[in-house]
Each structure stands twice: as structure tokens, then as C-alpha cells.
Structure 1
Amino acid sequence: MKTTPSSKIHSLILGAALSIAPGFVSPVSAQERSYILNFYDNSLTDLGTLDLGGGSSYARGINDTGQVMGESLLLGDPNNAHAFITGPNGVGMTDLGTLGGMWSTANDINNAGQVVGSAGTAAGERHAFITGPNGEGMTDLGTLGGNYSTANDINNAGQVVGWSTTASGSEHAFITGPDGVGMTDLGTLGGNYSTANDINNAGQVVGNSATAAGEGHAFITGPNGMGMTDLNSLVEWPAGIALANAVDINNVGQVLVNAAIPEPQSYALMLAGLMLVGFMVRRKSLPA
């Protein structure tokens, strides 16, 4: 579940436009930084970087105590970045390290300060990771039998979701138990891939999966990742429109989705349909 500042924090992350991909960072013409905008006094808090000599930083998320996570690019290593976490209200940046490789990237943080993402291993693979509270200790979450995995999101119980390659080389969505313990394959909608994008505090997971026909469809699961359901089966759409990807879910079950539209349609109809998605998902029967 993506976290946002609470009303007590009154802060907003301003992320620099730094493009960071696992193991590669696009060159930038100037050093770039991230800040917290504090609405209560209209001040900016510079998060700094991991390199005292300069470098760049890119913030990706904030929890309800104002702990920020993201990546920082070191001046001496222009092709790699390290994940970081700050203390409350963005004070103090700590390097989260790697899994033995050269780089790491952070994707989400929960209210305990547990950070998830992916990092390079000593063998040159990409593995999903979780940290302990306040970013303490990076733990390799492993894979579903393949060489690569990425953690995309974490809820306040420490359940982690993302994707991993299987022993056959397919990419499948996964969920873990609390505190990242145990990786479970969520399966697919009948096709050869799936990826989990987000999880709420009930453990409902949303993402994208291939169907048996090879189409990319949005999915939702029941609590704790039980049972993958095609969101297109829960709503009625005009012919030719499909819910292609579910990117976020909140704690009341509202789902943010992207729809594939083959040709111009009524925008009013689309907006009305999207507003109904969360309502329909809650009203329809989902796997228990």
C-alpha cells in the first residue's frame, strides 16, 4: 500500500527528475536533489545525498512519520545507486546497502519504516529485499525458483508483493507473509506472466496478468492474496474496452486501474466506470 503523509506531518515529497534503473542510472546534466515540503510553514527540507561530495538523490515514498526512502547516486560511481532511508521528517539519510552487488533501489515503505525494493547480489542477479523497522538490516526475499525478483509494495503487517522469475523462466506475482517471511506464487489469469503492484492492509493484492488468450488484464485477490480474480469479470464495459492494469488499492478496496481503449470512446462513460470499480469490487464476491 503506497503511503502518503498524514495530516499530522503536513509534508510532501518533491522528487528530482532522476531516471534510475536497476544497475544503470541515466546521466544527468546537474546534481539533483529531493525535498520535503512542509505545509505548516511552507519550508523545504533538503534530504541531501549519500555522497558528502555531492551526487543526486531521488525520493520515492514517505510514511506517516515522515521517513523517506529512495535512491542516491554517488559521484564516484555514476552507473549505480544505493537505496536510502531517512529518519522522521526527512532528517538524516542512511545507506541501506546492497545484497552483495553494486546497486539497490527502494520501492515502498510502511509505517514501521520497513523498506522494500530490489538489489544486486554478488552473483549479479536482482533479488527482492525487505528491511527491518527503520531500515535496519537488508534481507534477501529470494525468488520463486528463478534468478530475479523485485518487491514493489509492502503493507503495515510487512506483507510484501512484487514479481519473480520461476524455474521455467516465467514472471509471476508473489506475496509474502508478515515481515517478508515466505514467498508464495500468486499464479496468473491463465497466461504466462503476472506482476503484483500494490497491497492494502487486508492483504488484497492488485496487478496485471496475462490471460489464456495472451491479453494483459488487471487482477485483484482476496485477503492475504487468496484467489486471483480478473477485474474485467467484476465490471461491465463497452465492447473493446479492457481493464489492463491495476496499479493501486486502498484500505477500503478502491482500485486504481488503467484501461486499454482501442479507439476514442466517451470520456464521461470511462470516468463513470472507473469510479464504480472500487464499489463493484467491494460488492462482488471475492475469494475469502
Structure 2
Amino acid sequence: MSKNLSRLKCITISFTGMLAASIPAAAAAEWSIVGLGTLGGTYSVAQAINDSGQVVGNGNGVDRAFITGANGIGMSYLDTLGGTRSFASDINNAGQVAGYSFTDTGDLHAFITGPNGVGMSDLGTLGGDYSIAYGINNFGQVVGVSSTAGNAAYHAFITGPNGVGMTDLGTLSGDYSAAYSINDSGQVTGVSSTSDAPAQHAFITGANGIGMTDLTTLNGATDSIGRAINNSGQVVGFSGFYNDFTGYQLVEAFISDAGSSNISGLGTPIDSRADAINDMGQVVGGINSYCDNCIRSAFLYSEGTITDLSLLAPVVEAGWSELSAVGINNHGQIIGWGHLEGAPGGGSRAFLLSPIVAVPEPATYAMLLAGLGLLGFVLRRRYQIV
């Protein structure tokens, strides 16, 4: 090895060290929180967010679903299917929205919109009177629940791209099922009753909704629900004990391995639920969701660390409390609703909570520029000598 090459490698290593030293400063995140408004009503709730930061949700301004522009800016109403009310459940990266609306005959039907929430199409049913859409992927495949012929039962469904066609996903040997989320491969998660009545278990399907696998439960619990799935096939949800008189008890948030039926607890406190996951495996959900006389809060799970979002300094300083977090995009932006101190009407308000990546200090920039300059000088000298 020549002395020049050795010197080059030493300087490159030194520069790499300087760059590595700057990474913690550049990756350190603060947070900002903004209310999304109410469109004249007394409350609003955000339900889903895409990677542009478009948010959909519901409020009581005129009891219709809403959509925002990028990064939660601007709020406008969606249409209905002829009735007076509509509800938004999910949004994909094209801005197509899935949800449900009353029709002009008073039935409740699932819908899909065009890009950016424009227009609204009725998805029909599985032969019964009603259907509800809960999830949509980037190809416009929609999942949800519908009554079957004669309203004999209700089953999970999946559609083709852009909401075309509706297929019954069946059940886990029980009477009913519902689908809550779908990824870009068409894998679906939700909940189904089992033959061990009255238990209900979370499930995952294969691509395009084919096959239904029981995700079972945590720690001997009787019930579980799959709430969201990412593009790696990781499912999040919650598991606990349920009966018709007391509801859910001892609920615990869970996450599955990618594309498998192995689930494990997130390490959140008992009485927690996971509601959303992004492609980096970051999870948001609620704490004290089913606890009587408890203060509700929200959490972020990221790389094994759990953060109570209600305790973040910007959240507290802005007067927000009792947050419910139900969505997170691939940029780490989180949506949900909470109580805002001094808000007129006293109802819940939809929020957008965004991480702010810190800008490196001027001294760090100077060090990086100096390193680049030195490296460039040595490269020029080396080629001149060689």
C-alpha cells in the first residue's frame, strides 16, 4: 500500500468520524403539535394520515367526514352517499378515502373517493343492508365489514383495486368477522369469532386476502383484535378478556413478527391498545383505553422505547391533555384527538403531532465543510502524484 493511499484512508476515516459525530445532532427530534380545527362544530377527531400529511376524520360541524391538505393544512368536507352524514376511516397516498355514509334510503354503505377526496362511490354490500369500510391501501383495495344476504351475519370483505368488486373473507370458523387494515400486498388484519364461542381473535391473511390465520392471544387471554398492518406484514392490536357485561378487561397492546402469527406484548402498561403502525415499525396507541376513572393517554413505541405523548413538553405547553393517538405515517407524523384547554365547546379536537429534526449547529457545518475540503484536496494531490 502506498503512503499516499494510506494517508487518504486515514483522512477518510477521520472525516467519517466527524460525520458520525454529527449524526446524533441531526437525528435528534423535537415535536410540534397543532389543532386541525372543527369546521364550525364543537369537536373533531382525526382517524388516519397518509405520507403527505393529509388527514381524514370526522366532526360535528355538519356531521360529515373531512379531509385536509398536506401536513394537516386546511380542512374541507367530503361528500355523502345521498344521506346527511359520512365518516372517514382511512386514506392512501393518492388521497383516496375509505369510510361509510348514509345513503338516501337511510342504509349505511361503505365508500371510496377519488384522489384527494374528490367524489364518492358506493361500494355496495355482501348482500345485506349495510357495509362499513375501515382500511384502504395504495392500490385502492378497500377492506371492512358488511352484512350478508338476509342480514344473517356480518363478514369481513376485501375489494379489488379502486374499490371494484367485493369479496367475502369468511371467518375463523365462527359467525362473524371484520377487517380493519390492509397493506400494499393485500394482506388484511382484523377480528373474527371462533368456534370456541364467544371468543374473538385477531387474524392475518395472505396476499389479496387469501387465507385467514388466527393470531391467537397474549398470556392466556380469551380475545384479541388486529387493528393495523404495515407493508412488512407486522400486525398490531390488543389482547385481553371480554364479556358482554363488563367489556374489555386487562387489555395489552401487541405486535406480531413480520408476516407471521407470532405476537408479543409491546411492554406497555396493562390496559393499553395499539392502533397503528408504519413501515419502520413505529407504533402508536392508547393507554387506559378501557380503565374506569383513569386519565387517558397515548404512546409512541419506537425501537423498543415507549414515549407517553401526553407528557411531551410542547404538548403540555400548548394545553393538550388526554390524547388518543390512532395514526402514524412513514415520516413519524402522528394524529388523533385530545382535550385542548380553553377550546370553545369543550369537546375533543383533532391534532397533528410532528417530529422536528434538529438542524446541525453552525460549528458542525463548518467542521463538515472543512472535512470535505481536506478530502477533496488530498484526492486531487493523489491523482496528480499517481
Structure 2 residue aligned with 1:109, among 136, 152, 164? Answer: 136
What's the counterpart of residue 22 of structure 1? none
- The yes-or-no answer on 1:6 pairing with 2:40 is no
Is residue 141 of structure 1 aligned with residue 169 of structure 2?
A: yes
Distance in 2 (CA, whole Å) between partners of 1:262 and 1:137 is 42
- 2:89 paired with 1:60: yes
Classify the secondary structure of the residue corresponding to 1:97: coil
Q: 1:215 to 1:95 in 2, by over 3 A?
A: same
Q: 1:206 and 1:12 mapped to 2: Cα distance?
A: 21
For residues 256-279 of structure 1, give each alpha carbon's deviation from its aligned partner in whole angstroms, at most 9, with x where no partner exists: 2333489989x9xx99xx55x322
Counterpart code for 1:36: I
For 1:228 and 1:93, the matched residues in 2 are separated by 37
How far residue 244 of structure 1 moved from its aligned partner, in angstroms, is: 2.4
RMSD, matched Cα? 3.0
Of residues 271, 280, 283 in structure 1, which corresponds to 2:304? 280
Consecutive unaligned residues in structure 2, runs of 5 or more: 1-46, 242-248, 307-386
Could you tell me how far 1:249 is from its partner in structure 2? 1.5
How far does the alpha carbon of each residue in 1:78-115 deviate from its partner, in whole angstroms, 9 at most, with x for none? xx310000111222211000001100001011111011
SS state of the match for residue 302, structure 2?
helix
Deviations 1:132-160 (A, max 9, x none): 11000011000001111010111111110
Structure-2 residue corresponding to 1:195:
225
CA distance in 1, matches of 2:154, 2:54: 33
Could you tell me how far 1:130 is from its partner in structure 2? 0.6
**Does the CA contact (< 8 Å) of 2:127 and 2:148 recur in 1?**
yes
Structure 2 counterpart of 1:13, one-letter code: V
* Residue equivalent to 1:23: none
State the percentage of identical aligned residues. 45
Whether contact under 8 Å (1:188, 1:209) holds in the other structure is yes
1:136-285 matched pairs, under 5 angstroms: 136-169=164-197, 170-189=199-218, 190-210=220-240, 215-232=250-267, 241-242=269-270, 244-260=272-288, 274=299, 277-280=301-304
Secondary structure of the structure 2 residue equivalent to 1:242: coil
Cα deviation, 1:164-196, whole Å, max 9, x if unaligned, reads 001122101100001111011111112211111
Question: Is the 8 Å Cα contact of residues 48 and 56 (structure 2) preserved in structure 1?
Answer: no
Task: Work out the CA distance in 1 between the residues paired with 2:182 and 2:203.
Answer: 12
- Partners of 1:186 and 1:90 in 2: CA distance: 34
In 1, Cα distance between equivalents of 2:196 and 2:204: 19
Instruction: State which of 99, 115, 123 in structure 2 corresponds to 1:88.
Output: 115
The alpha-carbon distance between structure 1 residues 262 and 105, as it changes in their structure 2 partners (threshold 3 A), is closer
Flag the 1:263–1:102 CA change in 2: closer, same or farther, 3 A.
closer
1:33 pairs with one of 45, 64, 76 = 64
Task: Check whether the contact 1:254–1:281 (CA below 8 A) recurs between aligned residues.
Answer: no
| Contact kept in structure 2, 1:205 and 1:220, CA below 8 Å | yes
- Name the structure 2 match of 1:125: 153
**Out of 8, 12, 15, which is 2:58 matched to?**
15
Q: Equivalents in 1 of 2:287, 2:64: separation in Å?
A: 34
How far apart in 2 are the matches of 1:207 and 1:111? 21
1:25 alignment counterpart? none
1:16 and 1:57 in contact (8 A); partners too = no
Contact 1:126–1:148 (CA under 8 A) maintained in structure 2 = yes
Helix, strand or coil for the counterpart of 1:134?
A: helix
Output the CA distance in 2 between the equivalents of 1:70 and 1:263: 31
The TM-score, its normalising length taken from structure 1, stands at 0.76
Decide whether the 8 Å contact of 1:45 with 1:90 is kept in 2. Answer: no
Question: Structure 1 residues 119 and 215, CA, compared in 2 at 3 Å: closer, same or farther?
Answer: same
Which structure 1 residue ranges, 5 or more long, are not aligned?
A: 18-29, 236-240, 283-288
How many residues of Structure 1 are paired with residues of Structure 2 in the alignment?
247
TM-score by length of 2: 0.58
